[in-house]
């Protein structure tokens, strides 16, 4: 249940930012349907972002960096109270951050 809450909140934020961009730019096509986000940018290609509940991951297919599977990773901190920790979507093979990749490749600030 926690996975669905976190991943849904994240994808909703991504969709909202991309739809804002779509309103001001004609070269972006954003479609979100049945939990699958498709972003087409003619100069770059098509991105697909979707949840993978059995693995508790978010999957990304990028025309630039290829496919990646992101896990929700909590940041450790001695000063944090229980239930107040922060996390981020990380590709465990190379340590890359989904938010950073979207910022760099799609120019979306989350």
Q: What percent of the chain is predicted at pLDDT more than 90?
A: 75
pLDDT at 20 over 90: yes
Contact 98, 91 (CB under 8 A): yes
pLDDT in tens, 84-96: 557 899 999 999 9
Instruction: Let me know if residue 110 belongs to a domain.
Output: no
The arithmetic mean of pLDDT across residues 4-16, rounded, is 94
How many domains, in total, are found in the chain?
1
Instruction: Please give the residue range of the domain that contains residue 84.
Output: 1-105
Q: Which segments within 1-110 are labelled E, that is strand? A: 29-33, 36-41, 45-52, 57-62, 66-74, 87-91, 96-97
Instruction: Let me know if residue 6 belongs to a domain.
Output: yes
pLDDT at 39 over 60: yes
The arithmetic mean of pLDDT across residues 69-97, rounded, is 78
Instruction: Indicate which CATH number applies to the domain containing 66.
Output: 3.30.920.10
- Token pair, residue 25, equals 């730019």
Instruction: Let me know if residue 73 belongs to a domain.
Output: yes
pTM given for the model: 0.85
Q: Where are the alpha helices (DSSP H) in 27-94?
A: none
């Amino acid at each position: 249940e926690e996975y669905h809450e976190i991943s849904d909140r994240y994808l909703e934020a991504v969709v909202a930012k991309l739809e804002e961009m779509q309103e001001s730019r004609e070269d972006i096509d954003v479609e979100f349907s049945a939990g699958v986000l498709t972003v087409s940018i003619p100069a770059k290609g098509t991105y697909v972002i979707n949840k993978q509940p059995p693995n508790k991951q978010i999957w990304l297919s990028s025309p630039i960096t290829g496919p990646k599977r992101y896990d929700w990773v909590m940041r450790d901190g001695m000063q944090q109270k229980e239930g107040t920790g922060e996390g981020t979507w990380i590709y465990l093979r190379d340590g890359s951050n989904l938010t950073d990749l979207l910022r760099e490749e799609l120019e979306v600030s989350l």
